[in-house]
A and B are shown apart, each in its own frame.
Chain A
């Protein structure tokens, strides 16, 4: 069973640039969610995708957007990067759109904005 994989693991961008982070969900999982984890903080929910549709969003501006593909992999896009966007971005997957099941996290993509 393949776990959640994310790419890239680390990247550096400058203010105003755009970034795309990628996630492959665990085999058999059709729900993917994204979290932002600032240094020393708990993860903060960005949004969730179920069967290619966004079905939940946290308190993040529209420049944070995403996609889910037919194979349930997902992308997180952030436009007009700001210094405060520097964080670890975590992808998590599970089975089912509306029921609680164990969330499986990837190891994250660490974004540094200079």
Chain B
């Protein structure tokens, strides 16, 4: 089955700096890669996603890149703000009849003033 590795496990940046979180996946058939943000006491919330036919996607301060050959994808947050502080999870999935998300272990992002 799919295995997703994520690093770093914790990341502290100053407000306004950039943050990068990296993930690798094992199943070359995976074709959809969402990123979720989970605030304390809440469920995960989708912040951006990318499909395997695209190399990069951007939404305001957030971007995701995908390298299918190397089987890794990254989340880039620019101009970080305190509200970006949360646990961020990457995930991978093969779309199909019983699609299940395989999550990474999470990165605790702390944006300091």
Q: Which residues of A contact B (CB under 8 A)?
A: 4, 33, 35, 40-45, 48, 55-58, 90, 92, 97-100, 102-108
Contacts and interface: CB of A to CB of B under 8 A. Distances in A.
21 contacts: A33-B100, A35-B101, A40-B106, A41-B105, A43-B103, A45-B100, A45-B102, A55-B98, A56-B99, A57-B98, A90-B43, A90-B44, A97-B97, A100-B95, A103-B46, A103-B101, A105-B43, A105-B44, A107-B41, A108-B42, A108-B43
Contacts, number: 68
Interface residues of B, number: 29
Most buried by A among B32, B34, B51, B99: B99
Contacts of A108: 42-43
Interface of B: 4, 6, 31-32, 34, 36, 41-46, 49, 51, 89, 91, 93, 95-106
